[in-house]
């Protein structure tokens, strides 16, 4: 196969090298495009056809429904690994040995406290504040309490980079647990670091004063799986945000804070909250799923079936397959009877056999099911995206670290200007 792409612009031919991925993906390297063509650019809104970087972290084949972290199938990891093992794998490239795992775990535990002044900032938020706004602000505020994490030269100081990474994984779960505790009117206590990472998060979120918190292994298993399934997803909107913010050499906390804001939107991580709100409003409106199927297909109607469709998965979302099984386990174990779940099942059944949805490859995505599990666990719907953020931390860290260690240039796209040509200022009295 030729290792070149040819481009013909106004009868002039230009050659561009091809970049080959390890799974034989082909990309046209246009790094020299502007310089050799005298300023020609490519335009690709939404980056639907643009690889923004080379990466060794996650492989995804949307047509075949394949997702692998560092070469390991998502099914294998979700069914067998712990979330922290997967975090280590994503960040450092290989599964940890027992010693590496113990050290990583211990270092994260020793960072599982935040400055007491963070409580004052949290207390200052009004009741109406959305937890994603709170989390993004508190994550940014952590920079103030850990100033070196924003200024170190990561290429020179691998030790400081490691320290910042374990701080993120130790401190952000505390912020998340406190956000939910404040919502539920519970005191802002620390967890119990003698527990596993996932068990500790559950206890930190839910333990009531003067009560012994009893772990439910089915919930622990489901949350461990959910966090693994969300841990990375190559160059999605929030990860691209983290990489681009970090490309200006902003620190890890600041970059992750920006990633949290990007994740918030309903077309990305906010979909899990939007799914539940949609199901509730269908229920309140009498539960007629067919009416909402018609609305979703009507091009005059802005309504979309939340939790269906994906930018890259065009056959099925492999994460949805795994989490559907865990959802059934959790619902059976907790004996949940909920009319909203019947609506979810009804919509899923109708959409899977509806020509509009089948023709456009619109299948339930991971967020269709994750919201259902979180609701059953007793997590308020505006906290669902916060749980997604918790899972995505290792991916954001791994991608940020890769970008910095590869010394990538600052992200700065071009544009095609379609506005007014040069015009002269006229004084206001003459307009
Ligand atoms: N309901 C109804 N129609 C839809 C939907 C939907 N959920 N999603 C896509 N379509 C239609 C869309 O109208 C278009 O139709 P046509 O070709 O006739 O104009 C076609 O399908 C292609 O849609 P698109 O908007 O061009 O696709 P996209 O790749 O730009 O968008 C998406 C992907 C996920 C933003 C979109 O499917 C969507 O809005 N889904 C609902 C929100 C959601 O569940 N998001 C969570 C994604 S999973 C979590 C994550 O990884 O972030």
Q: Measure the CA–CA gap between 365 and 310, rounded to whole angstroms.
A: 7
Q: Does 152 score more than 80 pLDDT?
A: no
Is residue 155 one of the residues assigned to a domain?
yes
pLDDT score of 190 more than 90: no
Confidence tier at 155 by pLDDT (50, 70, 90): low
pLDDT of 207 > 80? The answer is yes
Same domain membership, residue 186 and residue 37: no
171 with 237, same domain? yes
In a domain, 308, yes or no: yes
Give 75's pLDDT tier (boundaries 50, 70, 90): very high
310 as an active site residue: the answer is yes
Of ligand 1's listed atoms, the one at least distance from the Cα of 299 is 13
The closest alpha carbon to 388, from 257, 241, 245, 268, belongs to 268
Query: What is the pLDDT, as a whole number, of residue 289?
Result: 92
> CA-to-CA distance for 208 and 146, rounded, in angstroms?
30
Q: Is 239 in the pocket of ligand 1 (CB under 6 A)?
A: no
Q: What is the pLDDT of residue 318?
A: 94
How high is the pLDDT of residue 160?
85
- Say whether both 129 and 192 belong to one domain: yes
* Confidence band for 341, pLDDT divided at 50, 70 and 90: confident
Residue 149: which pLDDT band, with cuts at 50, 70 and 90? low
- Whether residue 237 sits in one domain with residue 158: yes
How many C-beta atoms lie closer than 10 Å to residue 427's C-beta? 6
Percentage of the chain modeled with pLDDT above 90? 77
- Evaluate if residue 336 carries a pLDDT over 90: no
* Mean pLDDT of the residues in the chain: 93
Kindly state whether residues 17 and 105 are assigned to the same domain: no
- Express the helix, strand and coil content of the chain in percent, nearest 5 each: 55, 5, 40
Q: How many residues are listed for the chain in this entry?
A: 431
Q: Which residue is listed with tokens 């990309």?
A: 27
Q: Distance between CA 141 and CA 66 in Å, rounded?
A: 37
Q: Is the pLDDT of residue 154 over 80?
A: no
**What is the average per-residue pLDDT within 330-347?**
87
Check 233, 310, 317, 382 and give the catalytic one. 310
CA distance 64 to 72: 16
8 A C-beta contact, residue 308 and residue 413:
no
Are 110 and 83 found together in one domain?
yes
Q: What is the CA(124)–ligand 1 centre distance, in A?
A: 37
Instruction: Establish if 421 belongs to a structural domain.
Output: no
Confidence at residue 162, expressed as pLDDT on a 0 to 100 scale? 92
- pLDDT band at residue 145, thresholds of 50, 70 and 90? confident
- Distance (Å, whole) CA 304 – CA 281: 13
Is 410:418 a contact under the CB 8 Å cutoff? no
Residue 116 is assigned to a structural domain of this protein: yes
Helix axes 271-284, 339-352, angle to 10 degrees: 110
Please tell me if the CB atom of residue 310 comes closer than 6 angstroms to any atom of ligand 1.
Answer: yes
Does one domain contain both 110 and 226? Answer: yes
What would the mean pLDDT of 211-224 be, rounded to a whole number? Answer: 93
CATH number at residue 278: 1.10.230.10
Instruction: Give the single-character DSSP code of 251.
Output: -
Nearest CA to ligand 1 atom 35: 267
Is 337 found in the same domain as 238?
A: no
Tell me how far the alpha carbon of residue 382 lies from the centroid of ligand 1, in angstroms.
21
pLDDT for position 369: 87
Q: What pLDDT is recorded for position 342?
A: 85
Q: Is the CB of 309 under 6 A from ligand 1?
A: yes
Q: Is 188 a member of any domain?
A: yes
Task: Please tell me the distance from the alpha carbon of residue 228 to that of residue 82, in angstroms, as a whole number.
Answer: 8
Which residue's alpha carbon is nearest to atom 31 within ligand 1? 311
Residues facing 26 on adjacent strands: 20
Q: Do residues 158 and 182 lie in contact, with contact meaning Cβ atoms separated by under 8 Å? A: no
Q: Do 134 and 218 fall into the same domain?
A: yes
Atom of ligand 1 nearest to the CA of 368: 44
Tell me how far the alpha carbon of residue 316 lies from the centroid of ligand 1, in angstroms: 13
Q: Give per-residue burial for 1-18: e unless 16+ CB within 10 Å, then b.
A: eeeeeebeeeeeebebee
- For residue 237, the model assigns a pLDDT of 97
CB atoms within 10 A of CB 214: 7
Q: Which residue of the set 232, 317, 367, 382 is catalytic? A: 367
Residue 8 belongs to domain with CATH number: 2.20.28
Atom of ligand 1 nearest to the CA of 311: 29
Give the atom of ligand 1 at the shortest distance from the alpha carbon of 268. 52
Query: Is pLDDT of 150 > 70?
Result: no
Q: Which pLDDT belongs to residue 337?
A: 82
**What is the rounded CA–CA span in Å between residue 98 and residue 102?**
6
Determine if ligand 1 sits within 6 Å of the CB of residue 271. Answer: yes
When divided into structural domains, the chain yields a total of 3
Is the Cβ atom of 362 under 6 angstroms away from ligand 1? yes
Atom index in ligand 1 nearest the CA of residue 237 equals 52
For the segment 409-414, the average pLDDT, to the nearest whole number, is: 96
241 three-class SS: helix
Kindly state the percentage of the chain with pLDDT values over 70: 97
90 neighbors 394 (Cβ within 8 angstroms):
yes
Specify if 23 maps to a domain: yes
Whether 360 is in the pocket of ligand 1, judged by its Cβ within 6 Å, is yes
pLDDT at 156: 57
The CA distance from 191 to 187, in Å, is 12
Q: Are residues 110 and 215 in the same domain?
A: yes
The residue range of the domain holding 33 is: 4-51
CATH of the domain at 137: 1.10.580.10
Mean pLDDT of 215-223: 94
Same domain, residue pair 309 and 323: yes
Residue 157 has pLDDT above 60, yes or no: yes
Answer for the pair 377, 268: CB distance below 8 angstroms, yes or no: no
Establish whether residue 319 lines the binding site of ligand 1, counting it when its CB lies within 6 angstroms of any ligand atom.
no
User: 8-22, 177-191, 238-252, 387-401: lowest mean pLDDT where?
Assistant: 177-191
For residues 112 and 246, membership in a common domain is answered with yes
Give the tens place of pLDDT for each residue, 349-397.
999 899 999 999 898 888 888 988 898 888 999 999 999 999 999 999 9
Identify whether 208 is part of a domain.
Answer: yes
Using alpha carbons, list the distances in angstroms from residue 405 to 36, 109, 247, 249, 396: 29, 26, 11, 11, 14
Taking CA atoms only, the protein residue closest to ligand 1 atom 22 is 360
Which of 62, 75, 65, 71 lies closest to 90 in space, CA to CA? Answer: 71
Tell me which residue of 53, 61, 63 sits closest to 31, measured CA to CA.
53
Quick one: pLDDT at residue 193?
Answer: 86
Q: Is residue 416 part of a domain?
A: no
pTM for the model:
0.91
What lies within 8 Å, CB to CB, of 323 at 6+ separation is: 225, 226, 229, 366, 369, 370, 373
CA distance 276 to 89: 32
| Residue among 59, 88, 390 at smallest CA distance from 230 | 390
From the CA of 234, how far away is ligand 1's center (Å)?
18
């Amino acid at each position: 196969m030729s290792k070149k792409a040819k481009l013909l612009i106004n009868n002039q031919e230009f050659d561009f090298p091809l970049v080959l991925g390890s799974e034989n993906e082909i990309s046209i390297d246009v790094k020299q495009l502007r310089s050799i063509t005298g300023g020609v650019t490519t335009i690709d809104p939404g980056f639907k056809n643009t690889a923004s970087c080379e990466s060794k972290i996650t492989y995804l084949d949307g047509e075949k429904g394949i997702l692998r972290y560092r070469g390991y199938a998502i099914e294998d990891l979700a069914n067998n690994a712990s979330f922290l093992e997967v975090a280590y794998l994503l960040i450092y490239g290989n599964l940890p040995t027992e010693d590496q795992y113990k050290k990583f775990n211990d270092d994260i535990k020793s960072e599982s406290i935040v400055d007491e002044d963070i409580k004052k900032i949290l207390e200052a938020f009004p009741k109406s504040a959305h937890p994603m706004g709170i989390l993004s602000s508190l994550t940014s505020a952590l920079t103030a309490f850990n100033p070196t994490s924003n200024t170190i030269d990561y290429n020179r100081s691998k030790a400081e980079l490691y320290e910042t990474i374990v701080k993120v994984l130790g401190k952000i779960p505390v912020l998340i647990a406190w956000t939910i505790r404040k919502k539920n009117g519970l005191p802002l206590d620390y967890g119990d670091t003698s527990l596993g990472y996932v068990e500790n998060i559950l206890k930190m979120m839910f333990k009531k004063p003067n009560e012994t918190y009893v772990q439910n292994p089915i919930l622990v298993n489901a949350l461990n799986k959910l966090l693994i399934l969300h841990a990375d997803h190559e160059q999605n909107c929030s990860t691209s945000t983290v990489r681009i913010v970090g490309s200006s050499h902003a620190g890890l906390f600041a970059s992750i804070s920006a990633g949290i804001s990007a994740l918030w939107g309903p077309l990305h991580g906010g979909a899990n909250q939007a799914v539940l709100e949609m199901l509730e409003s269908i229920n309140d409106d009498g539960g007629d799923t067919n009416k909402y199927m018609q609305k979703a297909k009507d091009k005059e109607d802005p309504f979309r079936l939340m939790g269906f469709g994906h930018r890259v998965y065009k056959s099925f979302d492999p994460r949805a397959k795994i989490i559907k099984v865990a959802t059934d386990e959790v619902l059976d174990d907790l004996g949940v009877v909920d009319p909203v779940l019947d609506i979810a099942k009804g919509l899923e059944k109708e959409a899977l056999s509806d020509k509009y949805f089948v023709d456009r490859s619109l299948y339930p995505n991971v967020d269709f099911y994750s919201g259902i599990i979180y609701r059953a666990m007793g997590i308020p719907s505006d906290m669902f995206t916060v749980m997604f953020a918790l899972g995505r931390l290792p991916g954001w860290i791994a991608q940020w670290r890769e970008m910095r260690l590869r010394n990538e240039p600052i992200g700065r796209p071009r544009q095609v200007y379609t506005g007014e040509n040069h015009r002269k200022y006229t004084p206001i009295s003459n307009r």
